[in-house]
Structure 1
Amino acid sequence: MTTFAASATPAPTSAALSPAVRTARYALHSTRMTVTNVMFMVFTIALPVGMYLLFSTMFGDEADGAARGLMMVNMAAYGGLGAAVNAGVQIQEDQRTGFLRQLIVAGLSPRSFLIGSITAASVVILPALLFVGLIGLATGVEASPTQFVTVLAVVWLGLVPTVLIGIALGMVLTGGAASAGGVVTMMAMAIFGGLWLPLEMFPSWMQDLGEALPTYWIARLGEWALLGGEFPTTGLLVIGIWSVVFAGICAVGMRYAVGLKRR
């Protein structure tokens, strides 16, 4: 009787994984770690929802109720801003614990690491946008399903540069300085970008500064998606410039971080 040796196809090792699969796995890991962080989710959801409810109760009936819709857009942008910056900053934890080094040694390229970080941070923005938006609808904001989805999509895409800002802070700053820098940056961009109070209430120099920030135009794009009117073309230019600049900073910072870890 002839005996045949059983041949088993070896399971794919990490070396056999494509760059796309490595990137997706890292993005999934980072997303899972972030959304299971209870304090992070509470901070990025409960705070903007609470602020929306407060402001809409106080001023929501102005302009025949249209003010409530603008507050919904602004607070959704604020919640997404907090999620984007703080999720990006968490890249510092991967460097501090040596997880970045393990990933690079295991074959994850710096580009895949950066793309995975951007993807994960972009995903964790969505709960903040969705919760604020749903609370807005439940409290009287008038929007068709198409308008509602468009507002969320426009704000979400507009937040890309804030994700990059958070990642850049996580690469440049170390330890507690990264978290502190993220909070300071988020607050400054929210205040000067007119997310809490209309820019018209500030001095002219603050208005000029605010109109140079992506957060101001994120809210204006959301306002356009909700109420219509003239499309804020300048906003796309401002958001695009911030995205390109901080994408470059992240790319350089990634090379620097990997260089340090390989020494």
Structure 2
Amino acid sequence: MTNTLSAPGTSYVRSAFASRALIKLEITRALRNRKFLFFSVIYPSILFLIVAGSQDSGSRVDGTGLSVPAFMMVSMASFGALTAVLMGNSERIAKERESGWVRQLRLTSLPGRGYVLAKTASAAVVSLPSIIVVFAVGALVKDVRLDAWQWLALTGAIWAGSLCFAALGVAIGYLASGDAVRPITMIIYFGLSILGGLWMPTTTFPQWLQDISSWLPTHAYAALGRAIELGDAPHAKDVVLLVAYFLLFAGGAAWLYRKDTLKA
């Protein structure tokens, strides 16, 4: 008896190999983009120091139980991860569609899910340093003190939560053209950041705006980290909201990918 792979098995192996190769390529490209690394890794830390200002652990954010540095540390870590996964994915995908790179990939054994996975994985790799750098600045410069389990849980929660926005970035990349993708992404990026409470506490908003903000994915995203800082488990509503938004964005990205494939 010969030990050969069936045709479906061979196809699966080829698809897996192509997916791994593209993931490696995407990660390498992301890490070589110095401008992108600055805005996704260094910029959030600078913003954190500016926004936190001279505030110390004795200053509190009303209605949260957290100090200003601790509150803003989670906000800026979330903002940095959002920058890495949303801004990077959307513009790169739109440009690759126009350049014909995506069309060339469709001629290979790479499946559509492999392309989306590669984009999500590369964005996640870049988002992790942005989170760690903000945390390091918070601990070393602003004297934020947490238990070891809290640092680990914070990193894992914010990193995992960023996948929701990575899926949104893929969807925008297939929705917009190369010329339109940047303004569309910037509007969504700043809108979600500000209204979701990443730049300022939502308690400063009018009540009607607070009600809207509480249902945004960025609000739920930052709430994960703030719950952990208080020593609590993330609220079920925030987890469910993020999962629901992830399924919505990922489903939209898959539908737009198939629609783009039919046009090619």
TM-score normalised over the length of structure 2: 0.88
1:106 aligns with 2:108: yes
Q: Aligned partners of 2:182 and 2:132: how far apart in 1? A: 25
Letter in structure 2 aligned against 1:47: Y
Q: Distance in 2 between matches of 1:80 and 1:176?
A: 24
The superposition leaves residues 135-189 of structure 1 with CA deviations (integer Å, 9 ceiling, x where unpaired) of 1111201023321121011011112211111111100000121122222211111
Amino acid at match of 1:38: R
Unaligned runs of 5+ in 2: 1-9
Q: Separation in 2 of the partners of 1:99 and 1:74?
A: 35
Offset of residue 227 of structure 1 = 2.0
Candidates 43, 53, 58, aligned match of 2:39: 43
Per-residue Cα deviation, 1:107-127 (whole angstroms, up to 9, x for no partner): 211121112212222222111
Q: Which runs of structure 1 show a deviation greater than 6 angstroms over 4 or more consecutive aligned residues?
A: none
Q: Deviations over 1:52-90 (max 9, x none)?
A: 111222433403983211111110000111111012212
Q: Distance in 2 between matches of 1:32 and 1:205?
A: 44
Deviation at 1:17, TM superposition (A): 5.0
Distance 2:234 2:97 in 1: 41
**One-letter identity of the residue aligned with 2:175:** V
Say what the alpha-carbon RMSD is for the aligned residues: 1.9
**Alignment partners' CA distance in 1, 2:251 and 2:51:** 37
**Is the 1:52–1:71 contact (alpha carbons within 8 Å) kept by the matching residues of 2?**
yes
> Does the aligned pair in 1 maintain the 2:85–2:120 contact within 8 Å?
no
Per the alignment, in what secondary structure is the counterpart of residue 212 of structure 1?
coil
Code of the residue aligned with 1:136 in structure 2: it is G
| SS of residue matched to 1:176 | coil
d(CA) in 1 for partners of 2:87 and 2:128?
14
Residues 16 and 202 (structure 1), Cα distance of their counterparts in 2 relative to 1, 3 Å cut: closer
Q: 1:215 to 1:65 in 2, by over 3 A?
A: closer
* 8 Å CA contact retained: 2:93, 2:173: yes
Q: How does 1:179-198 map to 2 (within 5 A)?
A: 179-198=182-201
AA aligned to 1:109 is P
> 1:127 is matched with which residue: 118, 126, 129?
129
For the Cα contact (< 8 Å) 2:220–2:238, is it kept in 1? yes
- Structure possessing the higher radius of gyration over alpha carbons: 1
Q: Which residue of 2 aligns with 1:4?
A: none
> Which residue identity lines up with residue 111 of structure 2 in the other structure?
S
TM-score (norm 1): 0.88
For structure 1, which runs of at least 5 residues remain unmatched after alignment? 1-13
